[in-house]
Amino acid sequence: MIRHIVMFGVDAADDQDRNDKITEAAVRLEKLVGVVPGLRTMTVGANGVDIEGNYDFALVADLDDAEALSVYATHPAHLEVSAFIGTFKNARASIDIEL
């Protein structure tokens, strides 16, 4: 199994705008479970502690294996969500851990 973790920074006009964008991203990302083959779980959460340098939100996805991660990366439903997030992200970091 592969655990895919991605953190995002968000460009936003204010806290409400940031929260709205994160909420919409979370809804769209979590709907990918059952759509993208090999994607077992998807959890999305906003940063809970305002510490300088923290990212604004993160996703944790569990996938069957490295092949499933490749499918996820190029799946049209994921690309659609990525394009949406791309309209407001200002930073991204990721890591893939084999479990």
Q: Per residue of the chain (99 residues), what is the pLDDT tens digit? A: 999 999 999 999 999 999 999 999 999 999 999 999 999 999 999 999 989 999 999 999 999 999 999 999 999 999 999 999 999 999 999 999 999
**Range of 20's domain?**
2-98
Query: pTM value?
Result: 0.95
Q: Give the span between the Cα atoms of 30 and 22, in whole angstroms.
A: 12
Q: Give the pLDDT of residue 31.
A: 98
CATH code where residue 34 lies: 3.30.70.100
Give how many domains the chain has, as a whole number: 1
pLDDT value at position 96? 98
Starting at the edge strand found earlier in the chain, the sheet holding 39-46 runs 39-46, 57-63, 2-10, 89-98
Residue 45 is given by DSSP the state E
For position 19, what pLDDT does the model report? Answer: 98
In our burial notation (b when 16+ CB lie closer than 10 A, e otherwise), range 13-52 reads eeeeebeebbeebbebbbebeeebebbeebebeebeeeee
